[in-house]
Structure 1
């Protein structure tokens, strides 16, 4: 993968880890405040509503890059090299098609919900939540296009083969 791609994936991973740390810290503080001091923090529930989708969807970019998604490979493993490459290209084309429609749909739902404010965190809207899908599937789309180019140019690496 190019330096820009490695840099992008590294920083997405760091962002996911940071979001996870914030999420765990916020929930821990909420539990302590609720059960030890009987003073729950109402904004933590909404914060987790926003952080969890961002964390999950951004992690999907790295999962796609590392081919750690679910795959049934029993048939593909038995194919000759050329047919295996064609199969990998076909699968990635289907994933690109799906990613495109996820981007399109998430933009539409984000735009439709841009005026719906959260209850406690009034500066955030539902669009902040739904835009996680847009950002993640744009990243996934870039990774898939890069992997298809490697397959077409027959410069596949371990990150594309599996």
Structure 2
């Protein structure tokens, strides 16, 4: 199961990188277009949607890499049993918050799809597409937090995997 989840995290990481390249291409096209007197319609809007997608798709891979900002000053000073309980509480609270956000972004994406919401710019871009990328990123982050919570509970996974600030 961990191998399958690792593959899912890697796919999210590659998709996030693709959206980052998309932003770079849009900025480059806009810069060159300006010099040639051409307008790239809604480039800023598309870059914004790409940024939202890359941010949410990169959540789980970043967490697994231990690169999220953590408050380790308190954790490192706690006794082992208290630290274990605090880490379980933090993972559970984080999972609850991410599940709450996931529920509502899925609801928003379904509503946008159902009512054919489009962006207000020149290019009428369906809003459910970037919202679906956000929802997918949050679903994967939920799975990542659940995997880490279960692994931490069972003593299999450290709460800060792969090189982040360790809480020991």
1:65 corresponding residue in structure 2: 64
Rounded to whole Å, the distance in 1 between the matches of 2:51 and 2:156 is 36
SS in 1 for 2:58: helix
After TM superposition, give the deviation of residue 84 of structure 1 in Å: 1.4
Asked whether the equivalents of residues 109 and 128 of structure 2 are also in contact (C-alpha less than 8 Å), the reply is yes
Q: Distance in 1 between matches of 2:99 and 2:67?
A: 20
What stretches of structure 1 of length at least 5 have no aligned partner? none
Query: What displacement does 1:70 show?
Result: 2.1
Provide the C-alpha distance between the structure 2 equivalents of 1:7 and 1:130, rounded to a whole number of angstroms. 23
RMSD: 2.0
Q: 1:121 aligns with which of 120, 123, 132?
A: 123
How far is 1:91 from its partner?
A: 0.2
The residue aligned with 2:140 is 139
- SS of the residue corresponding to residue 113 of structure 1 reads helix
TM-score, length-normalised on structure 1? 0.88
Q: Which residue of 1 aligns with 2:93?
A: 94
Q: Alpha-carbon deviations, 1:104-149, whole Å to 9, x = none?
A: 1112222333322123333x31222222321111011100110111
Q: Encode CA deviations 1:64-95: one digit per residue, 9 max, x unaligned.
A: 22232222222211222222111111001001
- Partners of 1:152 and 1:143 lie apart in 2 by 14
1:103 aligns with 2:102: yes
Judge conservation of contact 2:12–2:58 (CA < 8 Å) in 1.
yes
The gaps in structure 2 that reach 5 residues or longer are none
- Runs of 4+, deviation exceeding 4 Å: none
1:52 pairs with 2:83? no
SS at match of 2:161: helix
